[in-house]
Structure 1
Amino acid sequence: MSPLKRQVLIITVICAAIMELIDTSIVNVALSYMSGNLGSTLEDTAWVITSYAIANVIIIPMTSFLSTKLGRRNYYIGSIILFTICSFMCGNASGISELVLFRFLQGLGGGALLSVSAAVVYEQFPKEKIGTASALFGIGVFIGPTIGPTLGGYITENFSWPWIFYINIPIGIAAATSCYFLLAEPTVKAKAGGIDWTGIILLTIGIGSLQTVLERGQAEDWFAKGYILALTIIAVISLTAFVLWELHTPNPVVDLRVLKSKSLSVAAILTFITGVGMFTSIFLTPVIAQRLLGFTPTETGLLLLPGAIIAVFALIFTGKILQSGVSPVIVILVGFISFIFFNWSMSQISLDTSASYITTRLIFRAVGMALLTVPLSSLAVSSLPAKDMPQGTALNNMMRQLGGSFGISAITTYSTRRTASHRVDLISNITAGNPQVTERVNRFTSYFQHKGIGLLDAHQKAIKMVDVTVVKQSTLLSYIDSYMLIGLLFALALPLLLLVMKRKAGPPKLVLNDH
């Protein structure tokens, strides 16, 4: 392949990965619009996000098997076509059930756009330049979820929600056409064995059940709902049986034996933690901006944009300094410190925090994630033979997605409970004998009286305003606690990271292995 064609292919598969990852977050800011337009409750509309995530996590670990069985070129192009068609059908949906169905199918097509794209990018570079490959692919991994809310907010406000799906159509057509002419089968192929139907069924049931529990648990008050408890039991049994089966069957749908590589095993754990931080921070910040600070969806999206732009350069810079011999320990250490600082600084916010404060802090988040994405992606595949790279990449990507789902679920539960706790503490101080409370009520009462409202009604409205203030303040305090918890998780993971990275021996190279 000529250098020009090689560059076009790399750009194509990265754009496909970005498109897939954008769709993980682009609908978040449009749920209320969808709910009103389709005549469904917000709770039912949330399945638009859940169904996509479930399909993604189910299919990602199976991509290596499907690529081998169907041929990577056929599977990848077919996945792009499926994703594109389902994008059109999502935008054209007339009811919530139809939309959820096509979002699930869209997620099945999107799985290949992440894992196979990564494998294709890695193949275009020799082993000693794997850092450059990781940096290029890392752009997609980071930029996709980050610009999703920005793009979704702009489209929803200025056009209509179906266009958040329609924009995928020209990109999908261009990507499928480019891959038809440029994408070839890998030079080193894994041997295609029989179809592991048992593994496929166990994986689908197990991951599907687990993802549903993680996505819907908080909304359904966890085990208070019988189906959440049932799905939890099913997930534990199915996934345990899946692991045991895959380790003993000769042709597994997911070759868990690649986890014998210490580099991949450690990278998977650290990637899970990175996924927790990446997705929870991108979940918490827009919620605070819109619900507490009063920003519009477009303004909220713009908060993330400077960090996303800087992250592109940080990713490229990271690849180059790793290639030049800088120790990955130093890069990852700086990345963790940057992300810990982001969480600490966000724990200092108030209801008067400015947009510029949040934007500058999000830059630290962006740089931190950029500095972690490249060395961890490199670590995941560094000691694997070429034939196992797709499987290793798929498992690592699955851990990132699971980390995001687990993190959002955990942080939603934690913040909800902390909100209730802070509300109780704040209300205990609101008494008739508290001069600050009396002054606040009198001020609100006077304000409403000046608006022409009678004394009794003005006083009742003043009481409600105090309650609204308590709700806002208790919610803010719970989010502050959440940022602190995420920062603590990264701090606790830091010694493990350093211990593992010190295993690298020999001259400073990017290639990390177990020897």
Structure 2
Amino acid sequence: MAQQQAVVHPPLQGAQLVIGTIAVSLAVFMNVLDTSIANVSIPSISGDLGVSSDQGTWVITSFAVANAISVPLTGWLTDRIGQVRLFMASIILFVISSWMCGLAPTLPFLLASRVLQGAVAGPMIPLSQTLLLASYPRAKAPVALSMWSMTTLIAPVAGPILGGWISDNISWPWIFYVNIPVGIVAALATWAIFRNRDSVVKKAPIDGVGLGLLIVWVGSLQVMLDKGKDLDWFSSTTIVALALIAVIAFAFFVVWELTEAHPVVDLSLFARRNFTGGTIALSIGYGLYFGNLVLLPLWLQTDIGYTATDAGLVMAPVGVFAVLLSPLTGRILPRTDPRYIATVAFLVFALCFWMRSRYTTDVDTWSLALPTLVQGVGMAGFFIPLVSITLSGLPGHRIPAASGLSNFVRIMCGGIGTSIFQTAWDHRTIMHHAQLTEQANSGNPTFAQSIQQMQNVAGLNESQAHGLFNSMVTQQAAQLGVNDLFYISAGIFVLLIGLIWITRPERANADAGAAASAAH
């Protein structure tokens, strides 16, 4: 501890601070972009490599599994390598693996490259928080978090838009090649600014058992989440087996890590009220946000007739207020209780999802864009105060481990939210379809009149009229199902406010500043 405190680097100033912030932000943007940019390109990738779309989805799964496993290892790897060297290695290996993904001649080669890409991407986001906090003066540490949050919020929205445009107009390898120039610039700038600001290296013993258990339970859970919908969840023996493996390995993992002298993941952080409350509120909120981020474009494409690019553009306005207001949040955070800002953000999210729950099948573009604009206001107050609360009161040498563990829980909740929302939408659609078709019988004069009008006006025979009616019912059922989930999301965001208020954060300038001054 004394050795760590002996190496304290002063905050960056002037051009160094600007370049350092841009370098770290570029690395984060490139990283987060890759979690969603490939999603809309799966048909192109599958067709080009001669595999089915179901096999092609492993391009997403392989990255997610490797990424989820490596994120919580950030603290342990930082102790052994040093945070600047680890961050640099992550960027360089990410660029190399992106190049390998673009060159992939076969699916197995592409999957191996995506595993490497996901694994080296893991430490990048937690370390970006650590490096930024250590670069800013104490009073401006919240500004550092606002810079970080903007890239984290915009990249998931930009990913599908950019991925769709590249697939439609160039070719799918370029969704990976775009990382190369960004990564090279980020690596050069990071080395120029941070090379003499590394943390103290400790040669702690390797917790092989903990690492093995982590890989087993996270890998099993992530594959289960990604493949559950395709395999009809627990009616599949594969999904049941994966669930059992995940639960058993997780139980052993928790017991082992809490009793191990040098754990690979520091679970003792959950003994801190601020860390637990902030992490859970942030992670569940992110799970709702990410689940809806997948659900809305999917509904627009499958039931409203939007293209992938147009559906992505509907989500773009979220960035307007998020970018404009995030710096303002960073400036006012030191002078106020972060719980107030987070509470307002969650209420804005609830309003956004309530507005979406009023959609109809003939929804217009403005009605789609308005809640997304409103959501941007909530996004500006979402990450910054909650990250501040989560890290509140922690000594600097625990920041990388805390940030890694918090981001790990957030990423896992994002995957869980996506799986739950897609499955719940299917179930709600089926339920509404059954309820609507209960009235579709010859004894119902309204139904009989509708069929008669289709035959008389459109010139359809009886079979065609019934088919058209069923298509209309299916569209309406999907609409009602998606409205249900938007409404439920609004309610959960209101309930999550209680989690925010179980925390007792120190003043933002004190806790973030302490983290900044001691992060090395």
Asked if these proteins are the same fold (TM beyond 0.5), I'd say yes
2:468 counterpart of 1:465: yes
Task: Tell me how far apart the structure 2 counterparts of residues 400 and 202 of structure 1 sit (CA, whole Å).
Answer: 20
Task: Tell me how far apart the structure 2 counterparts of residues 392 and 185 of structure 1 sit (CA, whole Å).
Answer: 24
**What one-letter code is carried by the residue in structure 1 that aligns with 2:115?**
F
Determine the structure 2 residue equivalent to 1:48: 59
CA, structure 1 residues 158+440, in 2 after alignment: closer, same or farther (shift >3 Å)? farther
SS at match of 1:396: helix
Task: Tell me how far apart the structure 1 counterparts of residues 386 and 13 of structure 2 sit (CA, whole Å).
Answer: 30
1:407 to 417, 424, 427: 417
Determine the structure 1 residue equivalent to 2:492: 489
Task: Tell me how far apart the structure 2 counterparts of residues 510 and 53 of structure 1 sit (CA, whole Å).
Answer: 35
**What one-letter code is carried by the residue in structure 2 that aligns with 1:181?**
A
Correspondence list, 1:197-212, <5 A = 197-212=208-223
Task: Tell me how far apart the structure 1 counterparts of residues 22 and 509 of structure 2 sit (CA, whole Å).
Answer: 26
2:250 counterpart of 1:239: yes
**Contact 1:247-1:257 within 8 A present in 2 as well:** yes
Determine the structure 2 residue equivalent to 1:86: 97
1:392 to 387, 394, 402: 402
Task: Tell me how far apart the structure 2 counterparts of residues 101 and 151 of structure 1 sit (CA, whole Å).
Answer: 23
Determine the structure 1 residue equivalent to 2:482: 479
Alignment gaps of 5+ in structure 2 = 1-11, 514-520
Task: Tell me how far apart the structure 1 counterparts of residues 137 and 202 of structure 2 sit (CA, whole Å).
Answer: 23
Determine the structure 2 residue equivalent to 1:227: 238
**What one-letter code is carried by the residue in structure 1 that aligns with 2:18?**
Q
Normalising by structure 2, report the TM-score.
0.91
How far apart are 1:64 and its partner, in Å? 1.8
**Contact 1:88-1:169 within 8 A present in 2 as well:** yes
Task: Tell me how far apart the structure 1 counterparts of residues 83 and 342 of structure 2 sit (CA, whole Å).
Answer: 33
**Contact 2:138-2:512 within 8 A present in 1 as well:** no
How far apart are 1:498 and its partner, in Å? 2.4
2:46 counterpart of 1:35: yes
**Contact 1:130-1:378 within 8 A present in 2 as well:** no
The number of aligned residues is 503
Task: Tell me how far apart the structure 2 counterparts of residues 441 and 36 of structure 1 sit (CA, whole Å).
Answer: 41
**Contact 1:319-1:374 within 8 A present in 2 as well:** yes
Task: Tell me how far apart the structure 2 counterparts of residues 96 and 337 of structure 1 sit (CA, whole Å).
Answer: 44
Determine the structure 2 residue equivalent to 1:371: 381
1:436 to 423, 446, 449: 446
2:342 to 321, 332, 344: 332
How far apart are 1:508 and its partner, in Å? 8.1
**Contact 2:138-2:510 within 8 A present in 1 as well:** no
How far apart are 1:160 and its partner, in Å? 2.0
Task: Tell me how far apart the structure 2 counterparts of residues 22 and 448 of structure 1 sit (CA, whole Å).
Answer: 47
Task: Tell me how far apart the structure 2 counterparts of residues 199 and 312 of structure 1 sit (CA, whole Å).
Answer: 40
**What one-letter code is carried by the residue in structure 2 that aligns with 1:432?**
S
Determine the structure 2 residue equivalent to 1:66: 77
2:291 to 260, 280, 283: 280
2:257 counterpart of 1:254: no
Tell which has more relative contact order, 1 or 2 (C-alpha 8 A, sep 6+).
2
* Identity between Structure 1 and Structure 2 (%): 32
Task: Tell me how far apart the structure 1 counterparts of residues 51 and 439 of structure 2 sit (CA, whole Å).
Answer: 40
**Contact 1:188-1:386 within 8 A present in 2 as well:** no
Determine the structure 2 residue equivalent to 1:12: 23
SS at match of 1:141: helix
How far apart are 1:89 and its partner, in Å? 2.0
Determine the structure 2 residue equivalent to 1:426: 436
**What one-letter code is carried by the residue in structure 2 that aligns with 1:390?**
P
**Contact 1:275-1:402 within 8 A present in 2 as well:** no
Task: Tell me how far apart the structure 1 counterparts of residues 499 and 400 of structure 2 sit (CA, whole Å).
Answer: 26
**Contact 1:131-1:510 within 8 A present in 2 as well:** no
2:352 counterpart of 1:349: no
**What one-letter code is carried by the residue in structure 2 that aligns with 1:484?**
Y
**Contact 2:338-2:388 within 8 A present in 1 as well:** no
Task: Tell me how far apart the structure 2 counterparts of residues 447 and 473 of structure 1 sit (CA, whole Å).
Answer: 22
Runs ≥4 residues deviating over 4 A: 185-188, 507-510
Task: Tell me how far apart the structure 2 counterparts of residues 423 and 208 of structure 1 sit (CA, whole Å).
Answer: 36
How far apart are 1:124 and its partner, in Å? 0.8
